[in-house]
Structure 1
Amino acid sequence: MIIDGKTIAGGIIAELKNKPKPEKFLAVVLVGEEPSMMSFIRQKEKIAKIIGVDFRLNKFPEEVKNDELKESVREIAGIPDCGGLVLQLPLPAQINRDEIIEIIPAEKDVDNLTGRAPVSAPAVGVVETVIENCKLKIENLRVAVVGLGLLVGGPVSKWLEGKCAGLQTLNSSGNLEVLKQADLVVSGVGFAGLIKPDTLKDGAVVIDFGYDFKDGKTSGDFDTSGIRNSELPARNASHSDAGGKIRNLTYTPTPGGTGPILVAKLFENFYKLNR
């Protein structure tokens, strides 16, 4: 089955529209204009307009100096009417990411990059929502998290500790054979086609946060090229392994999977921080 992220996100956004709108604005700091970052910026601007949130994009050139960016972020974060601050990642090599993150006040950290915010990282919200949507019991799941980055793998693996039946974490160069034991695979590497259907067990669920441009199109970490699907909205996905056995798989597509839910969860966090 393909998990329709747009529909799930639409439900979250509809709930937000029925809640009192925050009076403060959401600030976004963007350095450079990398294509994948611009795609997420456009999604955020679109949702902000739909729900009526004051969205303010602060753009800086790719060559901005570290101290200059630090001072600018400090000024933005210090504005009383700023109710949330998003630092769009990744940052250029000359920027000390950790120094910039430390400037973000916990009460305005909608991505919980500091680890001190009173909200979960949006990626954690996505995983929790998909698990609920698939009607899975987290305590029964053996989970593998591929990639341990700041936005996805790190916070998701930390959240899963003690909640699931078993947790395996690995980076992109790790032995992907361990995925054959996982009921749920969460990937946030950003390497197109890294995970093949043959490396998964029958009935596995894949939550794919990976985002990469390959052959002129956007692709995720999970290679869906060999998967056959019926029509939307409830598509059953099947794959034949080397032995010809048909195995059922459930996954988030790219695009249209985790991306829309991530953005919706970010705005949900913004509302929570401004209640």
Structure 2
Amino acid sequence: MARAAPILDGRAVAADLTARVAADVADLAAWGVTPGLAVVLVGEDPASQVYVRRKVAETRRVGMRSIEHRLPASTDQDTLLRLVDAVNRDPEVHGILVQLPLPAQIDAAAVLDAIDPRKDVDGFHPVNVGRLSIGGGLIPCTPLGCMMLLDQIISDFRGLNAVVIGKSNIVGKPVALLLLDRECTVTVTHILTRGLPEIARRADILVVAAGSPGLVRGDWIKPGAVVIDVGINRITDANGKSRLVGDVAADEAGHAAWLTPVPGGVGPMTIACLLSNTASAARAGLRRQAA
């Protein structure tokens, strides 16, 4: 039986972060502030429904105010933009999350651009994207969660060879910037990169966010590498049973120093970082009022 890689437990790290957020929320309450997170869901996408339920439950669990806006799939762009404008102006809303994907008739970029950057707790607004490149702003939740997991096991990132597989605006590009900020040597790749296995084998830190189940095989992983598997893919096995798997063939990764599991790795961190960003946005708003 192949040896399993040591597991970098996202649930445990997320629980610790969530506890710290709850303490921060309690501290803000002493100043008369209850952080409010507005979640906007358009349509009936099953995965989005599940994600929103989890986010709402966790928001309430740490003592924040949860404001839900559920709109039909037929909603037009102007209607959604009017809603975004309303929550931008609502003083009880400190964070705004528009759940993606949006229906085809809506320009997602236009909607994300309309969110007040100070309330953009997903970190997708162009202002926050720009701030990330120079070190600041609200950081996208999944990349921030990846870095917090890496911080559990790496004390000095300087000079480490980091390879990111995936070039999305949501994970690949921002996590590359965060690794670069820690003075890693960063290579950004994707599934069409020529010689991808050879590039991956050079990584001390391998972050995989390609959305391709089992893409990274065992012989792609350098012995002793730290592997962050961001992929969440639902597959059906030969017996017709559905299960979640990552972008890494976990059963072949026993020679890695650490591996994040799927589920239970990066996923819990994403929600915990969303709560953390919302609390940070509320605190920043309190500072602006006091200035």
For the criterion TM > 0.5, the same-fold answer is: yes
Q: What residue is the counterpart of 1:270 in the other structure?
A: 278
SS of 1:140's equivalent in the other structure is coil
Q: Do the aligned partners of residues 9 and 269 (structure 1) sit closer, same or farther apart at CA in structure 2, a change above 3 Å counting?
A: same
Counterparts in 2 of 1:23-34, with a 5 A limit? 23-34=34-45
Query: Conserved in 2, the CA contact under 8 Å of 1:179 and 1:199?
Result: yes
Q: Relative to total residues, which structure has the larger strand share, 1 or 2? A: 1
Please tell me whether residue 62 in structure 1 is matched to residue 73 in structure 2.
Answer: yes
Deviation for aligned residue 1:267: 0.6
Q: What residue is the counterpart of 2:48 in the other structure?
A: 37
Q: Deviations over 1:126-183 (max 9, x none)?
A: 1221221013421132111111212211211122235334211112222421100111
Identity of matched residues, %:
28
Q: What residue is the counterpart of 2:8 in the other structure?
A: 3
Q: Deviations over 1:79-137 (max 9, x none)?
A: 22211101212223322111001110011011111142432222232122122101342
1:151 maps to which of 164, 170, 184: 170
Identify which range, 35-44 or 137-146, moves more after superposition.
Answer: 35-44
Q: Do the aligned partners of residues 63 and 210 (structure 1) sit closer, same or farther apart at CA in structure 2, a change above 3 Å counting?
A: farther
Query: Conserved in 2, the CA contact under 8 Å of 1:123 and 1:155?
Result: no
CA distance in 2, matches of 1:64, 1:226: 45
Please tell me whether residue 139 in structure 1 is matched to residue 158 in structure 2.
Answer: yes
Structure 2: stretches of 5+ with no match in the other structure = 1-5, 129-136, 237-241, 284-291
CA distance in 2, matches of 1:48, 1:9: 13
Q: What residue is the counterpart of 1:183 in the other structure?
A: 204
Please tell me whether residue 88 in structure 1 is matched to residue 99 in structure 2.
Answer: yes
CA distance in 2, matches of 1:137, 1:110: 28
CA distance in 1, matches of 2:251, 2:75: 40
Deviation for aligned residue 1:66: 2.1
Query: Conserved in 2, the CA contact under 8 Å of 1:141 and 1:166?
Result: yes
Please tell me whether residue 252 in structure 1 is matched to residue 260 in structure 2.
Answer: yes
Deviation for aligned residue 1:34: 2.6
Structure 1: stretches of 5+ with no match in the other structure = 228-237, 239-246
Query: Conserved in 1, the CA contact under 8 Å of 2:227 and 2:258?
Result: yes
CA distance in 2, matches of 1:45, 1:202: 40
CA RMSD, aligned part only?
1.8
Deviation for aligned residue 1:208: 1.6
Q: Do the aligned partners of residues 92 and 187 (structure 1) sit closer, same or farther apart at CA in structure 2, a change above 3 Å counting?
A: farther
Deviation for aligned residue 1:249: 4.0
Identify which range, 211-220 or 117-126, moves more after superposition.
Answer: 117-126
Q: What residue is the counterpart of 1:105 in the other structure?
A: 116
SS of 1:82's equivalent in the other structure is coil
Amino acid paired to 1:12: L
CA distance in 1, matches of 2:46, 2:263: 14
Query: Conserved in 2, the CA contact under 8 Å of 1:143 and 1:164?
Result: no
Deviation for aligned residue 1:65: 2.0
Q: Count matched residues.
A: 257
Amino acid paired to 1:17: A
Query: Conserved in 1, the CA contact under 8 Å of 2:221 and 2:256?
Result: no
Identify which range, 134-143 or 100-109, moves more after superposition.
Answer: 134-143
Q: If the length of structure 1 is used for normalisation, what is the TM-score? A: 0.86
SS of 1:92's equivalent in the other structure is coil
CA distance in 1, matches of 2:71, 2:189: 34
Identify which range, 96-105 or 40-49, moves more after superposition.
Answer: 40-49
CA distance in 2, matches of 1:191, 1:99: 28
Amino acid paired to 2:247: D
Q: Deviations over 1:37-80 (max 9, x none)?
A: 23322221221122111112212223322222222222222222
Q: Relative to total residues, which structure has the larger helix share, 1 or 2? A: 2
